Chains A and B, each alone.
Chain A
Amino acid sequence: MESIDVLMLCPMISYLEQELQRRYNVLKLWTAPEKSQFIKDHSATIRAIVGDGGHGADAEMIEALPRLEILSSNSVGVDKIDLEKCREKGIRVTYTPDVLTDEVADLAIGLILAVLRRLCASDRYVRSGKWKKGDFKLTTKFTGKTVGIIGLGRIGMAIAKRAEAFNCPICYFSRTEKPDTKYKYYPSVLELASNCQILVVACSLTAETRHIVNREVMNALGPKGVLINIGRGPHVDEPELVSALVEGRLGGAGLDVYEHEPEVPEELFSLENVVLLPHVGTATVETRKAMADLVVGNLEAHFSNKPLLTPLV
């Protein structure tokens, strides 16, 4: 059987690399000394791309690959893929919904608890020997606080379900009001932020949602409010976030994503009301394997003319 050329955009867990290499001829873009030349050299044979949340295909790359049939993304976020271009050219796009929903929702709650109860700051307090000199300060209770969710999709709903177990009233903003939920809907993010104590970003990144959390929203959330971002860095105006936190206009933040990963604003390092994670929303052995299986499964389905497992386009 002819070997199929698959362009891999970035390193991924070795399990995925191995499973792809067993089935296809994998071309590793990140090993190329000059990326656009590499793509040119293989443009006649590349039939599939494997990318992830941080690495997709823009119009230029798609145009450069006339034999491209499918893009299988190792992520649920697809903001780095020119979906319109793919639609135009009949290129299929698959992603990895559902298998990572719980993982991301678990982390959102973990971030809320870490910020409100100062888990990271107090762990540092113990490790530095400060506990010998006195007790840690009082922190803020999570149970019963109002949680506002931006985006009530799979991940937003999973976060709501967990927060309900802590007796938290739930409210949300979404593109459209969801008829079959009991949660309170607000028609704007600003109103949502004015009516909750913990604001969680759980929507997808599009042109409309870029900087959806801006200075005004952060001021509305206020000096006792906490922002949790498990979406994408560009959802939040990062320089405004830094000044809101440094000036105390925002009470705290739990961040898993940033505008220019892996760069994280250093002004945040000294703030104990901030928790900083290195984009680990889906980062467990179990979930990364499940995602990898979907990536490979979708490619296998495509190349054997079977229905795709999780198509987006």
Chain B
Amino acid sequence: MASDQATTPPPPPLPEIQSHDLSQVIVLHPPPVFNYFKDLFSKKFHLLKAWESPLPLHEFLTNHAHSAQAMLCSGTGPSISADIIRLLPSLRLVATTSAGLNHIDLTECRNRGISIANAGEVFSEDVADLAVGLLIDVFRKVSASDRYVRHGLWATKGDYPLGSKLGGKRIGIVGLGSIGFQVAKRLEAFGCNISYNSRKRKDFVSYPFYTNVCELAANSDVLIICCGLTEQTRHMINREVLLALGKEGVIVNIGRGAIIHEKELVQCLVQGEIGGAGLDVFENEPDVPKELFELDNVVLAPHMAVFTTESFKDLCDLMIGNLEAFFSKKPLLSPVMNE
């Protein structure tokens, strides 16, 4: 009919890669790296974004993620529990943007033959840098005296109280993995003496090794927590360890909040049983015990040890690389080995 010819049908869509041609990657909660680089992932993979669905998680997974072979997760968002893994029958890879693995049911993955890739060593330098920065800050009162100047007190109240010399101090590193080793290497240049406690003695260093963390604390002026969070390390740093560290002792935590018994740490700081603390992690982030806000010998950071533009870009490249390797049946770039 004449009227039909007045409206021409729309041209067919240009051929483009439809997202369903790309390999599926299930993502329960956006990892922090998505805030900056999500497009790099969505161009290469079909992201199944559970958090955007109105469906409850279990329903979403059952209905939409049945054939997803790979998952991308981070330390934030729901834990990758056995329950969740069981809803993903095709899952063969969990790639986490963190170095830490405490949010993943490793036993379930091992039993199901699911490979795990993590951030490997991509952050180690940045995390080590932050540990050193926090330590110098506590010893030399950098943040506290910056506050003092900004409040106009230097002109009115005079010089700020003296800090403490870092050189020559005995540093006890808890966990001499990739991060712990980078911390040790840096602090040696400041004239510090390094000792450590780790699950196993490391042959490639000559630092004194302590089999238990309390003994390490008793022989150290500083403890730097660089280990992962496991059942063995949960609340490992408790009142006993802190008292062994002593009234002049300083603790820096760039591992996980729960490695330290937070209530006991706060008590020791408030009562002056230890000399100070530099903390990037806490038991219930983003909650931080209010008592710490009153203390000038404590430096607080919002779990940002890996939050640099350089690390995030490196992480993005690494995660995409791992996923691409997985889907083309090549070896993963940063696999987590079963220990």
Contact = CB atoms under 8 A, between A and B. Distances in A.
Interface of A: 13, 102-103, 106-107, 109-111, 113-114, 117, 119-120, 122-127, 131-132, 135-144, 161-162, 164-167, 261-264, 269, 275-280, 283-288
B133 A141 contact: no
B304 A110 contact: no
Contacts of B312: 138
Interface stretch (B46-54, B146-154, B236-244, B316-324): B146-154
B293 A139 contact: no
What are the 5 closest A-B residue pairs judged by CB atoms, nearest first? A113-B133, A110-B136, A165-B189, A141-B310, A286-B165
A166 B189 CA distance: 9
Given A103-B165, A276-B149, 5 more contacts: A102-B190, A114-B146, A166-B129, A283-B160, A284-B162
Interface string B283-301: 0011110000100000111
Interface residues of B, number: 56
B35 to A, nearest CB: 8
Nearest to B279: A126
Nearest to A107: B140
A263 B188 CA distance: 36
B146 A120 contact: yes
B127 to A, nearest CB: 10
B145 A269 contact: no
B133 A114 contact: yes
Given A103-B165, A284-B165, A119 B189 contact: no
A102 B309 CA distance: 31
B311 interface: yes
A131 B149 contact: no
B308 A262 contact: no
B284 to A, nearest CB: 11
Contact of B150 (A113, A164, A262, A276): A276
Nearest to B185: A165
B141 interface: yes
Contact of A127 (B186, B286, B293): B293
Contacts, number: 171
B159 interface: yes
Contact of A140 (B132, B189, B309): B309
B125 A275 contact: no
A285 B162 contact: yes
Q: Which DSSP category, helix, strand, loop or mixed, fits chain B's interface? A: helix
A106 B186 contact: no
A225 to B, nearest CB: 16
A280 B302 contact: no
B163 interface: yes
Given A131-B288, A165-B189, A113 B163 contact: no
16 contacts: A107-B136, A113-B129, A114-B133, A119-B137, A119-B299, A122-B302, A124-B147, A131-B302, A142-B133, A143-B128, A165-B189, A279-B159, A283-B140, A285-B164, A286-B164, A286-B165
A114 B143 contact: yes
Contacts of B132: 109, 113
A136 B186 CA distance: 25
Contact of A141 (B125, B145, B166): B125
Interface string B101-133: 000000000000000000000000110111011
B208 interface: no
B130 A117 contact: yes
Contact of A143 (B125, B191, B299): B125
Contacts of B134: 119
Contacts of B286: 131-132
B150 to A, nearest CB: 5
Contact of A126 (B189, B301, B311): B301
Given A110-B137, A284-B164, A123 B308 contact: no
Contacts of A140: 308-310
Contact of A162 (B160, B165, B189, B300): B189
A139 B308 contact: yes
Contacts of A126: 288, 300-302
A119 B143 contact: yes
